[in-house]
Amino acid sequence: MIDARKSMTERMSLSALRKFNTENATYSYKSAILLEALYRAYKVLGDESILKFVKDMLDHYVPEDGVVLTYKLEAYSMDQVRMGNIMLTMYDLTGDKKYKTAVDMFYQQLQTQPRTPSGGYWHKIGYPNQMWLDGLYMQAPFKVSYCKRFGGLKECLDDEIMQFELVYEKTLDRCTGLLRHAWDESCKMPWCEPDTGRSHEVWARALGWYVMALADLLEIIPDEPEYADHRARLLKLASTLAPVLLRFQDADTGMWWQVMDS
């Protein structure tokens, strides 16, 4: 049993360590987010067993040649890039070159990622000309962190903030101020409006990804004059969305319905 007197951070971390291992944890964005959360818990708690768990899991995904297990470049999936965040952290901690090989691979994927005619990243190869709100969280914090670490940050931010502004403009429901889940620039998908390409629904989960991507980038981008315009553009998006989200918050629970506009 986990001691109820421990902090929620410690209790949840210990629970994750007991439930997951290299036998049952698949390579996915969900695993990536779990490992990032555990690393942050380690930073708060100082529990070396948590850090060891994170490293053991990453060592399982990344063999000595740095070629990530089950990773497929040709899938061009945003979801598989999310693991790059914690791998970049582990490279900085250990200096192990296999992690550099892995994050280089993710970065190169983004360099050749298919784009819509307007310049937005496809969500994956199987979703041509589609941008999903989820994709911003899956790739942007990693890409910006990578360029901050290895160079080319300004050019990276120029592109990434264009991605944020483009998907905002194209998914915006002007009646509610909320963002729809996805946008198909070709307007061919059965789920989209034929004239706008927007999906019909507003998903709280997808909007959450988008807002958290904004928050993460504002933490990552240096607060320096060179990047003042980039920060201002992100802050404009965040400050426009925040009061809208509050209007749709459930008064009784403080939570949001998954389908926010029904």
Length of the chain (residues): 262
Residues 128, 95: Cα–Cα separation, whole Å? 37
Pair 202, 181: CB distance under 8 Å: yes
134 as an active site residue: the answer is yes
Residues 105, 74: Cα–Cα separation, whole Å? 12
Residues 101, 91: Cα–Cα separation, whole Å? 10
In DSSP terms, 203 is beta-bridged to: 259
Residue 210, burial from CB neighbour count under 10 angstroms (0-12, 13-18, 19+): buried
Pair 138, 29: CB distance under 8 Å: yes
Q: Which among 47, 56, 92, 134 is annotated as catalytic?
A: 134
Cα distances (angstroms) measured from residue 228 to each of 118, 126, 211, 236: 25, 36, 19, 12
Token match 């990693």: residue? 142
Residues 173, 166: Cα–Cα separation, whole Å? 14
Residues 157, 12: Cα–Cα separation, whole Å? 34
Residues 185, 32: Cα–Cα separation, whole Å? 29
Token match 């607060």: residue? 223
The catalytic site residues sit at: 134
